[in-house]
């Protein structure tokens, strides 16, 4: 977890050195009586042992400080403890998706032989264009999550009328779902139900973990799977004055930009997540 991230670049040091790190991050909203502005994680200067992140509000407003959670995987195809599969990849894209134009997304080929739809997490890993953009993914159609054989990934700019961007590096991590142990770290990776709506609908929605953790997970990363709502959205973890993350439930919500209008209502979406009991480093095996 990286604490107190705002709209100024912050250095993050990695626990290990990577030949080609693939990183996915998500921001945590903590909301009291007053709403907070939309925020997403931007990234730059990804190196073998470090990277930089900041928050960005699509309209350019100040985001304030919030915590950000990240996962890092060496690029390639691997086997996790417990024999579950995981793979990570980066590529460059020059196209975007946006409201009413949900093409501009690249089909990927899995290296791992997934038998069930994997949990897909992703990130725009560069800041070549100061205009906001966020990762999205789908399966056979815009409203279908990635399957065991079909994955499309890209970036979107929601309702922004300026929908062109400089080339950006995209990273994604596909994980075989389940609840288990990564050495001493308890984890759960799962694609949640199609039930998470927008921040204006409700500031937090909950997913029940398949198994209760021994302690409240310290690290939780979420990515929206597919795009049911035409306005475009992204997933964040969420807490309110009446809900805190727990050993049995994950709080999430999807959010929108406010460039063309101020509302943040959104149709139900599915969210993929990984929750880990602690931060740490895990050795992966060759497939």
Given a cut of 70, the residues of the chain with pLDDT beneath it are none
Spatial CA neighbour of 142 closest among 230, 29, 13: 230
Residue ranges of domains in the chain: 2-74, 75-287
In this prediction, residue 34 carries a pLDDT of 83
- Cross-sheet strand order for the sheet of 66-74: 2-5, 66-74, 21-31, 234-240, 249-255, 205-208
In this prediction, residue 1 carries a pLDDT of 82
In this prediction, residue 70 carries a pLDDT of 98
CA distance 105 to 190: 23
Q: Are 24 and 222 in contact (CB under 8 A)?
A: no
Using a cut of 0.85, tell me whether the model's pTM lies above it.
Answer: yes
């Amino acid at each position: 977890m990286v604490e107190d991230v705002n709209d100024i670049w912050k250095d993050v040091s990695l626990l290990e050195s990577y030949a080609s790190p693939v990183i996915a991050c998500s921001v945590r909203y903590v909301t009291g009586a007053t709403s907070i502005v939309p925020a997403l994680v931007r990234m730059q200067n990804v190196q073998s042992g470090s990277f930089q992140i900041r928050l960005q509000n699509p309209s350019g407003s100040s985001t304030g400080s919030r915590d950000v959670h990240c996962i890092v995987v060496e690029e390639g195809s691997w086997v996790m403890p417990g024999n579950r599969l995981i793979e990570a990849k980066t590529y460059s894209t020059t196209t975007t998706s946006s409201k009413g134009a949900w093409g501009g997304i690249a089909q990927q080929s899995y290296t791992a032989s997934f038998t069930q739809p994997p949990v897909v997490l992703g990130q725009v890993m560069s800041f070549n264009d100061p205009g906001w953009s966020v990762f999205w993914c789908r399966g056979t159609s815009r409203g279908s999550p990635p399957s065991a054989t079909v994955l499309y990934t890209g970036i979107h700019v929601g309702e922004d009328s300026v929908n062109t961007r400089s080339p950006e590096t995209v990273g994604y991590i596909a994980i075989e779902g389940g609840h288990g142990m990564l050495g001493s770290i308890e984890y759960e990776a799962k694609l949640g139900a199609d039930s998470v709506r927008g921040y204006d609908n409700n500031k937090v929605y909950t997913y029940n973990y398949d198994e209760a953790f021994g302690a409240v997970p310290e690290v939780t990363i979420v990515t929206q799977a597919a795009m049911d709502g035409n306005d475009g959205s992204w997933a964040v973890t969420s807490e309110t004055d009446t809900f805190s993350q727990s050993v049995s439930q994950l709080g999430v919500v999807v959010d929108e930009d406010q460039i063309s209008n101020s509302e943040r209502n959104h149709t139900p979406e599915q969210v993929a997540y990984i929750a880990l009991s602690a931060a740490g480093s895990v050795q992966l095996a060759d497939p």
